[in-house]
A and B are shown apart, each in its own frame.
Chain A
Amino acid sequence: QSVLTQPPSASGTPGQRVTISCSGGSSNIGSNTVNWYQQFPGTAPRLLIYNNNQRPSGVPDRFFGSKSGTSASLAISGLLSEDEADYYCAAWDDSLNASYVFGTGTKVTVL
């Protein structure tokens, strides 16, 4: 049961900019940093963005993360066919039972 809400799908043509939203609450995004994961079909997720807007080594600077209040966004600029994947936001949740919560996931399609 995901507590972070994402649109189920997003799409764009090569070269375009695509933005994915992630809506949470005061106990998760409102209190903690946001991470983003990328997952290709049949493979394990990989960390794409951490601490709201930091890219691990090897992640192109076409990927940009941001956070404001209880929402976060992932922007992909200069869209490439290889960016077609599922994207999940995630954050620690400080509710009674502390846990790590994932977003519902967004399938990005390159048209």
Chain B
Amino acid sequence: EVQLVESGGGLVQPGRSLRLSCAASGFNFDDYAMHWVRQIPGKGLEWVSGISWNSGGIGYADSVKGRFTISRDNAKNSLYLQMNSLRTEDTALYYCAKGTRYMWNDGSFDPWGQGTLVTVSS
């Protein structure tokens, strides 16, 4: 069974940093792109970032470009999101999702983890 478990969320002050992790199991992690998607509670979905199977391709939403960095460690079956210069508008539930293709800018997302909540507030 494919499992994605996010961790690292919490309360952080504006301007500070946070690193999210996603532990994957149940599939060949290095065969698929991975993504981060966020959702403000009660609101819609926003794609944050994606990374190709071998880290050779990466994409970011305009809203986080230059502040967030996605990475992966295929040896550890893990995905990460380093979030710097956090803003109040970054407050959301952050989901890790498995891509259905090996390139980040292709396919769909299936499945998704349960999410980790990031709250940016002073």
Contacts and interface: CB of A to CB of B under 8 A. Distances in A.
Contacts of B105: 92, 98, 100
A56 B50 contact: no
B36 to A, nearest CB: 11
Contact of A102 (B46, B100, B111): B46
B108 A90 contact: yes
Chain A interface size, as a band, is 20 to 34
A100 B33 CA distance: 13
From DSSP, what is the main secondary structure of chain A's interface residues?
strand
B65 A97 contact: yes
A64 interface: no
A45 B65 contact: no
A102 B50 contact: no
Interface of B: 35, 37, 44-47, 50, 59-63, 65, 95, 100, 105-115
Given A46-B111, A47-B108, 19 more contacts: A1-B63, A2-B44, A37-B109, A44-B95, A45-B95, A46-B112, A47-B109, A47-B111, A50-B110, A51-B108, A88-B44, A92-B105, A92-B106, A97-B60, A97-B62, A98-B59, A99-B59, A99-B61, A105-B45
Interface of A: 1-2, 35, 37, 43-47, 50-51, 56, 88, 90, 92, 97-105
